[in-house]
Amino acid sequence: MARAELFASSKVKTDEIQPTLQEDFVEALKLAGISIVVLLVAAFFFSAVVGPFFALGSVEETVTDVLTRLALLILPYVAYISAASVARRYTFRATSRALGLAFSCAILIYALISAGHYLLDYGVFAPRPSLQMTLSQTDAGIRIDEVAPGGAAETAGMLPGDVITAIRRDPVDLAAFNKRLGQSELDAPLRLRFLRDGEEMQETARVVLVSDKELGVLLPGLAIVLVFTAIIVFLPGHWAPYIALVGLLFPLLIGYFWVIVATFSYRTKGLVPLDGNDNFGGFTLKNWESIFAGNIAGLEFNIWPILMTSMAIAVLMTFVVLLVSSMAGYALSRMDFPGRRFFLSFTLILHGFPAITLLIPIFIVLLRMGETPIIGDLIGFNTVGGIAMVMVAFQLPLGVWLMKGFFDNIPWDMERSALIDGASRFRAYWEILLPQIRPGLLALGIFAFIGGWNAYIIPATYSIGTGLSNLPVFLNELIDETAPVDWNQVAAVGLFQLIPIFIFFIFAQEYLLNIYAGGTKGSS
Amino acid sequence: MEIRIDNLTKKFGEVVGVEDLTLHIDDGEFVAFLGPSGCGKTTTLLTLAGIYKPTEGLIRFGERIVNQVQPKDRNIGMVFQSYALYPHMTVFQNIAYPLKLKKTPKNLQNESVRQVAGVMGIGDLLDRRPGQLSGGQQQRVALGRALVKEPDVLLFDEPLSNLDARLRLTMRGEIKHLQKNLGITSIYVTHDQVEAMTMADRIAVMSGGRLQAFDTPEELYDRPKTQFVAGFVGNPPMNFIDVNVSQSDGAYTAKTGSIRMTVPAARGAPAAEHAGAVVMGLRPEDIAIASEGEVAGEIFVVEPLGREDLIDVRVGEHSFILLANTESRHRAGERVALQFDMSQVQFFDPQSERSLLWRQ
């Protein structure tokens, strides 16, 4: 009985809670207002507080300026998004209501922001470089239709009917002229070549900043705002993270895209492959062929020993790092011995030690070791073993700590159980504990492999003046010794170097997923 | 296998885990180590398993001194509270692991595993991974793994505490039954005195790293030798109050404040000999609510347990826990009289906490 009443009243309540259009409108504007105020405060904070603070210390920086402008740039969009987010709750229940609400808010906000821009000479109404004349493109050049009285062009002596052909010695069309003008600063001199009555003349005009405040420019902006609002209203919520991610990754993806395009073309302009006549095309396999042919711009080489060197360093490093780290990690996690704490803190310090500072001392150590018979051939100067050993040493502190952490997470009972079942300590480590930390081993293995595969500074230093080189060292030789540098060729070698990493990751990914899906479940 | 622990002490640096423990366990006996957490019972168990090495003292399995023997050479089976199953192995591989380490031939391994799995009722789960099993099934696998190598000694480290109450009851019976059938000497660590009382032949009660008592459940319950044992064994726990026992005309009386109780001569005499106050212990089942009785009090709280009610009665500054029939429907605040059955009363020395009735 009481329950029924409770439900009845709650039902009535939900009906009552349905807000009116007016309330929604107010809520949307309130949200937009809050976001505008927050961003304005942020912009003010960066430009008027942080900026002067840095200036006090004579620190030259552009960060505060960039942040200020960024806040002002995203301000309108954040406002539209906040207003539209209120409308989103009606998107699939009352579409017309959602759109009506979002659009009316967007138009109002746009009007407010535009009014602000108009008054403050900002945004679309910001003063632009101008010569104060109207132009049109003709076959002969750019024709001057009108010259504003008292304006920059008139001052320079330009007359309607003149046909501009070039700025200084660079021939221009209307688009190029406007681009050049747009990049000019206040008072910059532009020497114009033009034809007056068939006679070639030249005059120097000085750029002025003009804010024309034509309201017509607002219409395309409004169209963009409405489309943007509609997208926000209808965008499925779970897409948002992907859109943000793609936006952030875009510059990176472009880089990869260029590398791939470049390796298959003679030359590129931006991302567009070009042939000899600057037309789209010019695809080729020659960049790849010359890798295997062993001749790039006169530099003779054999790619296979180089590849093997890279592979040997990477594999050796992965193997030794995994073995030593997991054993040391086990000992540090499970055993108590004198100096354990010291060892732990010491390795942490070693990890923070900049490896570069040790290059010269280690160089000398390796040279001396190289003079020792047998050992010198294995891990001396100018051997794969020596390079791998140094790299392993630099990787070990991280590896040992990582492995210790993983072992710490395995319950003691697991190991005790193995010992009581009849395993020796080593067998318990090998058969019971190691399988539990497979994800950790894999992660460390990937670190070590990629570290070894991409190693440059250590292989370059400890194989100086010899024929021994791995792929990164070879890549550097390519840039150093071939003149002029064929960047498409370099891109091909770079991509060639990436292939094993790709393969490694494709397999490792499957394995990783397997581990996380079912590997160490139920270990409690 | 007979186990003899003599003067065992285990220290971790300065921290004492177990101190001067002497315990002789007969062949085929089921012994429970009972005590609150941190009392050293698990330390003793792990020392028996060979995971810890004794600081002092001797441990003998039969005639063999095993102080320095590695766990793998002791032929023991152990069940852990966390089960400690190997998550990367199937149930079959888990149970077969001890045999694999013993280098038992494959066909024999197969046979033994299937036989043990059959006994434990997990024959149809052999291809699963531990992560796919319920708590009870994991428990059976762990037990199967401990049993498969036919150990001389079985060790249990609170094996039932991760199970729900109902399953705990079933497994309790199963483990006891299995142990009696196989006749393997077993040691069972628990902090749950019900488990210890129901399963064990003898209980070793431990506290603060020391052995408090080692006796059969009945002896511990009826003739507790220390106040700790009296308080720890039995649920709900024994009531303790400080009293003075005096004798007049051959009748013994225990007094405190307004409370006066007549004590049987057999129990009253040793208490009266002790000068000054003594601690009197009375079990809840020996106190009853009556319409009229020696002592009047007020009900402080009633906790219904289903079969009976647990009632806390306050008499002056003293509190008595007792059990009453649910049908009597007592309420908090009610004034009642208490009747004491003094035939089972216990007396302890307040300083040494030793029993005045049962000398060691």
Q: E-strand spans in A390-443? A: none
| Domain B239-348 homologous superfamily, CATH | Nucleic acid-binding proteins (2.40.50.140)
Q: Are residues A382 and A431 in the same domain?
A: yes
On whether the CB atoms of residues A265 and A282 are closer than 8 A, the answer is yes
Distance of CA A320 to the CA centre of its chain: 33
Strand-pairing partners, residue A268, are A273
- Using alpha carbons, list the distances in angstroms from residue A226 to A107, A109, A394, B21: 8, 11, 57, 85
Q: Are residues A311 and A338 in the same domain?
A: yes
Residue A6 included in any domain: no
3-state secondary structure B189-203: EECCHHHHHHHCCEE
Q: Are residues A145 and A112 in the same domain?
A: no
Residue A270 included in any domain: no
- Partner-chain contact B131 A522, CB within 8 Å: yes
Residue A12 included in any domain: no
* CB contact set of B39 (below 8 Å; sequence gap of 6+): B206, B207, B208, B209
- Partner-chain contact A423 B81, CB within 8 Å: no
Place of tokens 């006994």: B119
- Using alpha carbons, list the distances in angstroms from residue B324 to B153, B259, B329: 43, 21, 9
| Structural domain boundaries enclosing A331 | 303-473+494-519
B-chain CB neighbours of A420 within 8 Å are 49-51, 71-72, 74, 76-78, 155
How far is the C-alpha of A395 from the C-alpha of A373, rounded, in Å?
Answer: 27
> In this structure, what are the phi and psi dihedrals at residue A278, rounded to the nearest 5 degrees?
65, 20
Residue A290 included in any domain: no
Q: Minimal Cα–Cα distance from B162 to chain A, Å?
A: 11
Q: B3-232: which CATH topology?
A: Rossmann fold (3.40.50)
Residue A249 included in any domain: no
- Partner-chain contact A424 B88, CB within 8 Å: no
- Partner-chain contact B78 A414, CB within 8 Å: no
Q: Are residues A311 and A448 in the same domain?
A: yes
Peptide bond into A19 cis (omega under 30): no
Burial class of B295 by CB neighbour count within 10 A (0 to 12, 13 to 18, 19+): buried
3-state secondary structure A481-494: HCCCCCHHHHHHHH
Q: Which of A193, A133, A137, A140 is nearest to A159 (CA)?
A: A133
Residue A25 included in any domain: yes
The count of other CB atoms within 10 Å of the CB of residue A517 is: 8
How far is the C-alpha of A86 from the C-alpha of A90, rounded, in Å?
Answer: 8
User: ∠ at Cα A135 (A131, A136), nearest 5°?
Assistant: 160
Question: In the listed set A194, A210, A226, which residue is the last one of a domain according to the structure?
Answer: A210
Q: Which of B250, B240, B231, B313 is nearest to B277 (CA)?
A: B240
* CB contact set of A131 (below 8 Å; sequence gap of 6+): A151, A152, A153, A156, A158, A181, A190, A205, A207, A208
Longest dimension (CA), chain B: 80
Question: In the listed set A163, A183, A210, which residue is the last one of a domain according to the structure?
Answer: A210
Q: Of B46, B82, B97, which has the smallest distance from its Cβ to A421's Cβ?
A: B97
Q: Of A427, A432, A438, which has the smallest distance from its Cβ to B86's Cβ?
A: A432
Per-residue pLDDT 10s for chain A (524 aa) are 455 554 444 444 444 566 788 888 888 899 999 999 999 999 999 988 988 888 888 888 888 889 998 998 899 899 999 988 888 888 888 888 888 888 999 999 999 888 988 888 887 788 888 888 888 888 888 888 888 888 888 888 888 888 888 888 888 888 888 888 888 888 888 888 888 888 888 888 888 888 777 788 888 889 999 999 999 888 888 888 898 899 899 999 999 899 999 999 888 888 888 887 778 888 888 888 888 888 777 778 888 888 999 999 999 999 999 999 999 999 999 988 899 999 999 888 888 888 788 889 998 998 888 888 888 888 888 888 888 999 999 899 989 999 999 999 999 999 999 999 999 999 999 999 999 998 889 888 888 988 899 888 888 888 877 777 888 888 888 887 666 788 888 889 889 988 888 887 787 776 666 555 544 443 33
Q: Are residues A206 and A67 in the same domain?
A: no
User: ∠ at Cα B28 (B233, B194), nearest 5°?
Assistant: 20
Q: Are residues A311 and A457 in the same domain?
A: yes
The residue ranges of every structural domain in chain B are 3-232, 239-348
Q: For B191-211, give one letter per residue: b (16+ CB within 10 A) or e.
A: bbbebbbebbbbbbbbbebbb
Interface residues from chain B to A (CB-CB < 8 Å): 46, 49-51, 70-72, 74, 76-78, 80-82, 84-88, 97-98, 101-102, 129-133, 138, 145, 149, 155
How far is the C-alpha of B358 from the C-alpha of B244, rounded, in Å?
Answer: 19
Q: Coil, strand, or helix at residue B222?
A: helix
Q: Of B78, B88, B129, which has the smallest distance from its Cβ to A420's Cβ?
A: B78
Please determine, for the modelled complex, whether the ipTM score is greater than 0.90: no
User: Any idea of the CA torsion for A50, A53, A59, A62, to the nearest 10 degrees?
Assistant: 20
Residue A233 included in any domain: no
On whether the CB atoms of residues A359 and A461 are closer than 8 A, the answer is yes
Q: Minimal Cα–Cα distance from A473 to chain B, Å?
A: 42
Residue A421 included in any domain: yes
Total structural domains in chain A?
3
Q: Coil, strand, or helix at residue B34?
A: strand
- Partner-chain contact A427 B131, CB within 8 Å: no
How far is the C-alpha of A355 from the C-alpha of A363, rounded, in Å?
Answer: 12
Question: In the listed set A69, A99, A124, which residue is the last one of a domain according to the structure?
Answer: A124
How far is the C-alpha of A68 from the C-alpha of A44, rounded, in Å?
Answer: 7
Q: Are residues A355 and A402 in the same domain?
A: yes
Q: Minimal Cα–Cα distance from A524 to chain B, Å?
A: 6
